[in-house]
Structure 1
Amino acid sequence: MRIVVTSIFVDDQDRALDFYTRVLGFEPRQDVPAGGARWLTVGVPGEDGGVELLLEPAGHPAVAPFMEALAADGIPFTSFAVDSVQDEYQRLSDLGVAFTQPPTRMGPVTTAVFSDTVGNLIQIAESDG
């Protein structure tokens, strides 16, 4: 068994696709009409067959309260690994990304948290090991 697709709820698929590709650097994978929305995924460039991130519409009534509660408590929806949190923090800050937590050392891990502009807080993390 392996993970093929994981999802993140977004309040605007077009804006999410722009942010996750142009700003974060992921590449589009699938874009298939699905009713009033799309099966829209992104992945790590050059990692064919790797895990895809589904930019899932946040239309279900249970989603908005869930997303709002996470954001209000400062809890990231997901976490992405990076080689250098400080470098990514600087690169993303230069692109206008709003951080809610600057690079912070937590034992063997350094993390930072930013808004993805479509309803989520995202953590980036760098591990010593």
Structure 2
Amino acid sequence: MIKVAMTHVYVDDVPTAHTFYTDVLGFETRTYLDLGGGTLFVTVGAPGGTQQDLQLLLEPGEGPIAEPYRRALYEAGIPCIVFAVDDIRAEYARLRTRGVHFTHEPQEQGPVIAAVLDDTVGNLVQLAQPKD
């Protein structure tokens, strides 16, 4: 059996992304390594998880491949990643009180209710909840 262990999201600034993904969205730090020379290796994961659970690498987004890719997604309004939530309306309200900017509020999209937020480090992120 193969399982996804880690995926990534390109970000403008790793420390700022780390703060947003932990302090605002509620993820927990799994790995925080200073590799020297201003290079950080930072992963976050779902609250209460372990190192063996899926981790999200907050990866520096500059460079000839990452920057155009990230910019194109953002300008097209396409989320770079989707996070599942249990109660999207409650999560939307919680995040709005924390100052999170949403490009659209929760709305039905096929089999899910979805909302899209700006992660402040160059990405749009979709929150999705299956419809009952």
Please classify the TM superposition score into its range, dividing by the shorter chain length.
Answer: over 0.9
Q: Which amino acid in the other structure matches residue 44 of structure 2? A: V
Q: Distance in 1 between matches of 2:9 and 2:28?
A: 16
5 Å-filtered alignment, 1:1-129, equals 1-36=2-37, 37-48=39-50, 49-128=52-131
Q: TM-score, normalised by structure 1?
A: 0.95
Identical amino acids, percent of aligned pairs: 46
Displaced runs of 4+ in structure 1, greater than 2 A? Answer: 33-36
Q: Deviations over 1:12-71 (max 9, x none)?
A: 011000000000000001012335311100011111121000000112222111111111
Q: Which runs of 5+ in 2 are unaligned?
A: none
| Matched residue type, 1:15 | T
Across the aligned residues of Structure 1 and Structure 2, the Cα RMSD in angstroms comes to 1.2
Count of residues in correspondence between the two structures: 129
Counterparts of 1:94 and 1:64 in 2: how far apart (Å)? 30
User: Where does structure 1 lack aligned partners over 5 or more consecutive residues?
Assistant: none
Aligned partner letter, 1:87:
A
